[in-house]
Structure 1
Amino acid sequence: MAQPAYDKLIKNGEKNLEIVDSDEIKITIQTDKWEDYAKRIAHADNKTFYQEVEKVASFLIASPLIVEEIRKEISQEDSVVLQDILHTVELGDYNKDEGLELLGDLRSSRQKRRNYKDKQEVMNMLLGGDENTGSQHAMDALDKIKEVTSPRSYQYRIQNSNKNIVSYYNLNK
């Protein structure tokens, strides 16, 4: 069963693959993917590197707001929408077609809720349950990016430093 998948991966240029079982093949592919990504980012020019970090940092900074918005949507589906539908079922006067439409509304609401619950689970796994810690670290990283990408200067400690060094390196403008 693994042989056709292996053949396709080799044809597509994957390297360092070996059939042991499907879990091991998956792990090998993921490792290669992240190693390639890591190398590409580590060796990128400064602009590309810092843009990538800023994307991640922006997500992490917004993570408390993302988590809260997801919680609100789950609550909306659990309380308001579900209660409206249940009260309509309990108290409503409707025919078979309207009942089927109501059932469709219930299904749609539960699917929407499930999608938000899945997002919530992903966020919890990503953030380790504490989105504020990741958010603070991300803000610190953005501050550091501003610092390292700003023009630098050096303040000589000795007032009468060698003037040739200063003019040569053009450090003291």
Structure 2
Amino acid sequence: MYVIAKLEQGQYVYYNQNTKKFLPTDNHASKWTSISAAREALHKLEEKQALKENLLNSLTDEFQTQKAPVVSDYSQKFIRRSQEEVLAQVKETVLFLRHLGEIAGLLRKEISEADGAVLQDILHLAELGQPGIMGKVQIYNCLSQSRIKRRKAKDLLAIIAPLIPAEDNSIDLDKCNDALQNYLKVASARTYHFKDAQLKNNFKRYLEQSNGLRGQVDDLRDC
């Protein structure tokens, strides 16, 4: 007769097929009439044990993952803020999201006015008017301020546009972050390329030193 045994804590224990346990005495062991039958039973037992260990390891890994998730620096810093700081940020966030559509509408209006009424009035002044030197400087100053205001509105709209909910009222935060990073890349290296060769030859130098020239003009009367 053959039995399945293994060594535990310095002594042999014997497998009982009915209880599915190893017992300390061989008289409680299950017995097989041939070595091949005992080996087959041992093989099945080892397979079950391996399956049990894999399942246990899997559950352990999952538990450890859930128990110790990766925490961002932002979250760690956020929970250390004072209650007043958190309340202020939450209040500002709620107000911003609640008025997001209205804010976008105002920015679009500013852009439309700058590209429409203001630009057309100034172009017609250049076409039909006969201002003197100071008048021309004031007209330029008015045009410059209008375009700067328009650019600011376009930039703000580009920043907040990804946060405006889609038709299903959802916001994809990953897409918002990608859009913001792309905007920052474009805005940080913004340049202008002249479309007219003659204008480029005559005025390219003004873009290269526009800060100084704009400072002189800004001292004049606003439009």
Bigger strand share: 2
Structure with more contact order per residue of length (Cα contacts < 8 Å, sep ≥ 6)? 1
Q: Which has the larger radius of gyration?
A: 2
Bigger helix share: 1
